[in-house]
Amino acid sequence: MSRLLNRLFLGAIGLFMASPIIILLGVSVNAEKRLAFPPQGFSLRWYLELWNDAAWVNAISNSLLIAALASLLATSMAAPLAYGLWRRRTVWLRIFHAFGVAPFVLPPVITALGLLSFWIAVGGYGSFYSVVISHGVFLITLPLVTISLGLEAVNKEDLEAAETLGADAGARLRTIILPQVIPYAISGAAFAFVLSLNEYIIAYMVAGFTVETLPIKIFNSLRYGYTPAMTAVAIVFALVTALVFGLIGYFGDLPRLLGAWKSKEDS
Amino acid sequence: MNTTPAPATTLQGFSRSESVAMAWPMIMLAVFFVIPFGTMLTISFFERVPGGFFEPGFTLESYARFIDPFFFKSLGMTMMIAASASVICLALAVPFTWSLSRMRHHSRVFWLVALLSILSLSEVIIGFSWSLLLSRSTGIGNILVWLGIENRAPKLSPGLGAVLTGLCYLGFPYAVLVLFPQLSRLDPTLHEAARMLGASPRRAFMNVVLPNIAKALVAAFIMVFVFTLGAYLIPQLLGKPQQWTLPVLIADQALFQSNLPFAAAMSIFLLGVSLSLVVCVGWLGRTAPHDQDDAHDDARSEEA
C-alpha cells in the first residue's frame, strides 16, 4: 500500500517535471505556423528553420562560444583556489572562497547589476568578452565545489610516501593529485558550461542589446511574436543539457558530487 | 592538516609557483567581483539626472524612495510570492528526497540527471512552456473541456497561480539538491529501528526522521526562499504587473527607466536581505546536531 503510494507520488512528480518538455516537444513538431497542442500534423520544419535562419544560428553560436570560454575561465580560477584551500586554510584564501561562492547563492540580479555598473564605468559594456568574463567569475562556484570534493578524496598518506621516496612537489602534483582531481574538474566545467548556456540576466544586463545569446533571443521572440522555432530551439537546448548531465552521471559519481557520502560502490 | 613542510622562503607556506597560481583567481575575483559590488554601492549614492543617467555626488535620495508605498507593496508581494513558493516546494521536495536517498544507485542517478537538467533549464524556457501549459489554446485546461466538465478552457496565465507554479517548478530541483546531502547522510538505522519497534513507515518518518532534520529543513527553506527571490523572468512571463518582484523592478529601473542609482539602492537592499538570510543558514549549519564524520565512517550496506 505505502509502496504503491510512493510509486504514485514519484509518478506525479515525474509528470510535473516532464510536462513542460512534453508540451514544447508537441508544439515544436506542428506542421503549421501556429502554437497548437496536441500538434496538428507532424513536421520537423521548425528544426530545419533553426539552421537556415541566420539570427538563430548567430544566437546559438554566441551562446556556445561564451559557455565554452566562460567554463574554461571559471575552472582555471577555481583549480588553484581549491588547491590552496586544500593545502592550507589561510584567512585570505577563505575570504576569496566566500567571494567565489557568494555570487551563486545570492539573487543573480545583484551580481548582474554590479557587473553592469562596473562595465559601464570601465567601458566594456556591450562587449562579447565582458559577457565571457562576467559568466566566468559568476560560475566559478561550480568547479570550485567539485574540485574541492576531488581533492578531499586524495589520500594524504600517498603523498607522504611519494615525498619520502623523493618525488618533488611537481611530480606529486602530476602523478598523484591531478589524475584523481581531473574528472572532478571536468564535471565542474561541464556544470558551468550548461549554466552559462542557460543564463539570462547577467548576459542581458552586460550586453543584452548587442550580443544576443540564445535565452535572450528566445525572450525577445516571445515579446515580438511566437514562432514554433522557439520551441524547437528550447528542445535542442534541453537535450544538450540532459546529455551533459547524463555523461557526468555515467562517467562520474553523481550522488557523491551532489553531497551524498555513500559512493557508487556502496549501494 | 598540512603534510608537506613549508619551504622557509615563502609566505604562508606556499611555494613560489603555487603563490603565482593562486594570485590568478584572487586578482580576477577582486577585479570582477569585489570592485563591481563597490561600484554598485557607490552609484547607489550618486545623484540621478532626470532624462540623463547619473552624476557623481553623495545623496541618500535613492534610499529615501524606499519609504514610497509603491516600493513597500512590491516588497511585500515579492516576499509573499517567494515564501509561498518555497513552502510548496519543500512540501513536495521532502518526501521526494526521502525516497530518492533510499533508491538504488541507477535510479538515483536517473532522477538526479533529470533534476539537474531541469535546474539548469533557462528561466525563459520554463516560463514560456508554463505559459503554454496554462494558456487557453494549448493549456491543460483543455483536458477539462475534453472530459466535458467545462465548455471553454480557463485562462490560467498570467496570474498569481501561474507565477507560483512556475516558481515551484524552478525551485523544486533546487530544494531537492539542498536536502539531498542531509537526507542521504542520515543514519539509516534510525528509521530501521523505529520500523522494527512497530512504527508504520509514515510514523517512523514523521516522529523519528523529521525531528532529526528540522534544522536542515529550516536551512533548506531559507535557501529556496533566496533562490526564488532571485527569479527574474518567471514573474514577467507568468504574472501581471502587480506580481512583478524586486528583481524585475531593479532591471526595469536600470535598463528602461535609466535610473541606475535607484536600481543600485534596491540591489543593495536585496543583497542585505539575502546575505543576512544566508548567514543564518551558515549559523544553523554550525549548530546542527548531525555528525558528518560518524555517517561517513560507517558507510552502510544497501537497504531497500
Per-domain boundaries in chain A: 58-225
Residues 63-82 of chain B with CB under 8 A from chain A are: none
The minimum CA-CA distance between B35 and chain A, rounded to whole Å, is 7
Q: To the nearest whole number, what is the mean pLDDT of chain B?
A: 80
Give the ranges where B231-259 is alpha helix by DSSP (H).
233-238, 246-251
pLDDT at B165: 92
Contact between chains at B200 and A2 (C-beta distance less than 8 A): yes
The b-or-e profile of A49-78 (16+ CB within 10 A means b, else e) is bbeeeeebeebbebbbebbebbbbbbbbbb
State whether the Cα torsion B8-B11-B15-B16 is positive or negative: negative
Inter-axis angle of helices A228-251 and A214-223, nearest 10: 150
Give the ranges where chain A is alpha helix by DSSP (H).
2-28, 45-52, 54-87, 91-105, 108-122, 128-138, 141-152, 156-164, 169-172, 178-198, 201-207, 214-223, 228-251, 254-257
- Closest partner CB to A262 (pick from B22, B32, B299): B299
pLDDT at A267: 38
Cell 536600470 -> residue = B254
Best mutation target, B3, B81, B107, B129, to test chain A (most A CBs within 10 A) = B129
- Res. A261 pLDDT band, cuts 50 70 90: low
Best mutation target, A25, A110, A135, A155, to test chain B (most B CBs within 10 A) = A110
Contact between chains at B278 and A242 (C-beta distance less than 8 A): no
Q: In chain B, which residues have their Cβ closer than 8 Å to the Cβ of A248?
A: 113
A13-55: pLDDT as tens digits? 999 999 888 888 888 887 776 666 677 777 778 888 888 888 8
B170-180: pLDDT as tens digits? 999 989 988 88
A180-236: pLDDT as tens digits? 888 889 888 988 998 898 899 999 999 888 899 999 998 888 877 777 788 888 888
Tell me how crowded residue B294 is: count the other CB atoms within 10 A of its CB.
10
B182: its cell numbers: 542531509
Q: In chain B, which residues have their Cβ closer than 8 Å to the Cβ of A241?
A: 117, 120-121
The minimum CA-CA distance between A258 and chain B, rounded to whole Å, is 7
A68-118: pLDDT as tens digits? 999 999 999 999 999 998 888 888 888 888 888 888 888 999 999 999 989
B91-149: pLDDT as tens digits? 999 989 988 888 888 888 889 888 888 888 888 889 988 988 888 777 777 777 777 77
Contact between chains at A81 and B299 (C-beta distance less than 8 A): no
Length of chain B, please?
A: 304
User: Which chain A residue is nearest to residue B26, measuring alpha carbons?
Assistant: A96
Give the separation between CA A109 and CA B38, rounded to whole angstroms. 15
pLDDT at A1: 56
B53: its cell numbers: 543617467
Contact between chains at A105 and B28 (C-beta distance less than 8 A): no
B191-238: pLDDT as tens digits? 778 878 877 877 877 787 777 778 788 888 888 898 899 899 999 889
Tell me how crowded residue B63 is: count the other CB atoms within 10 A of its CB.
16
Give the ranges where B65-104 is alpha helix by DSSP (H).
69-101
Q: Where are the domains positioned within chain B?
A: 84-288
- Closest partner CB to B33 (pick from A103, A120, A262): A103
User: Which chain B residue is nearest to residue A76, measuring alpha carbons?
Assistant: B25
> Hey, what CATH class is A58-225 in?
mainly alpha
Q: What is the ipTM of this complex?
A: 0.83
To the question of domain B84-288 being in CATH 1.10.3720.10, the answer is: yes
